Amino acid sequence: MDIWLDTTNVKTIQKAVRVGILSGVTTNPSLLAHNKKDVEKTLEDLLHHQEGPVTVQVVADDTHEMLQQGQMLYSFSNRIIVKVPITKNGLEAIHLLVRQGIPTMATVVFHPRQALMAALAGANYVAPYISRIEKMGKDPWEMLNSMTTIFQHYRLQTKILGASLSSIEQVVKCAEIGIYGVTLKDEIFEKMIEDNPATLEGVHQFSEDWKKASSSLFSS
Ligand code: G3P
């Protein structure tokens, strides 16, 4: 499973790089706006502090404007993946961008039919919004299983990146289903790497026992 971070926080990105698990960074207009720093500077930082792609969302409603914004983003860096909301116009924009060799991620995905259309239009990634699907009273796992089955049936190469995740249980569930990856907010990433009390207790016991061992193995 690939792990991306859904953040503009460089410290979290650096931590994930140190652990060696980071595949890329996703952003959205809200994250970039809340960051308060200049957007261009933020994007430079996100590209500088890790080697993977960075997704940046277009903010137009019109297909032609989405295309133009996508082209601008890709000219800013060819490591930018253009995030396009899966509207009717967005679908068309995805197809136009893909035909120009610009990578895309269909976002704000709530249903397998949207994932299917995005994949057929040529999107490289689709980002289903797990928690938001759940909040609507729908079953996100049924949706993910359906997307996975459909993509397998037709050998579609589009990758499913689970987004809008709010617990480690949801991340584990995504891994069980076998989707390509997940993008995690800072707090969920921190929970994924946090110490389990049982592990700490086990390690403490080993330390106590080691004190009784007769060894110069670790002495310098
Ligand atoms: O990047 C999109 C995703 O982070 C949305 O998450 O928590 O606003 O549903 P959320």
Mean pLDDT score of the chain: 97
- Ligand 1 atom, smallest distance to 165 CA: 7
207-219 average pLDDT score: 93
- Taking 90 as the threshold, does the pLDDT of residue 220 lie above it? no
For ligand 1, the distance from its centroid to the CA atom of residue 45, given in whole angstroms, is 21
For ligand 1, the distance from its centroid to the CA atom of residue 129, given in whole angstroms, is 7
Residue of the CA atom closest to atom 4 of ligand 1:
164
**Closest by Cα among 84, 152, 83, 151 to 119:** 151
36-43 average pLDDT score: 93
Q: What residue ranges do the domains of the chain occupy?
A: 2-212
Q: Reply yes or no on domain 2-212 having CATH 3.20.20.70.
A: yes
CA pseudo-torsion sign 151, 152, 153, 157: positive
91-95 average pLDDT score: 98
- Taking 90 as the threshold, does the pLDDT of residue 13 lie above it? yes
SS3 string, the chain, reads CEEEEECCCHHHHHHHHHHCCEEEEECCHHHHHHCCCCHHHHHHHHHHCCCCCEEEECCCCCHHHHHHHHHHHHHHCCCEEEEEECCHHHHHHHHHHHHCCCCEEEEEECCHHHHHHHHHHCCCEEEEEHHHHHHCCCCHHHHHHHHHHHHHHCCCCCEEEEECCCCHHHHHHHHHHCCCEEEECHHHHHHHHCCCHHHHHHHHHHHHHHCCCCCCCCCC
149-165 average pLDDT score: 98
- Ligand 1 atom, smallest distance to 131 CA: 9
164-193 average pLDDT score: 98
Q: So which residues are the catalytic ones?
A: 83
32-50 average pLDDT score: 95
Q: How many Å apart are CA 77 and CA 70, to the nearest integer?
A: 11
**Which residue reads 């330390």 in tokens?**
207
Q: How many Å apart are CA 2 and CA 181, to the nearest integer?
A: 4
Structure confidence at residue 37 (pLDDT): 87
- Ligand 1 atom, smallest distance to 164 CA: 6
| Protein residues with CB under 6 Å of any ligand 1 atom | 6, 26, 28, 129, 131-132, 163-164
pLDDT digits (tens, 9 = 90+) for 102-142: 999 999 999 999 999 999 999 999 999 999 999 999 999 99
Confidence of residue 168 (pLDDT cuts 50, 70, 90): very high
- Taking 90 as the threshold, does the pLDDT of residue 84 lie above it? yes
Share of the chain above pLDDT 90, in %: 97
- Taking 90 as the threshold, does the pLDDT of residue 36 lie above it? no
Structure confidence at residue 208 (pLDDT): 96
37-49 average pLDDT score: 96
Q: How many Å apart are CA 207 and CA 99, to the nearest integer?
A: 59
Pair 49, 14: CB distance under 8 Å? yes
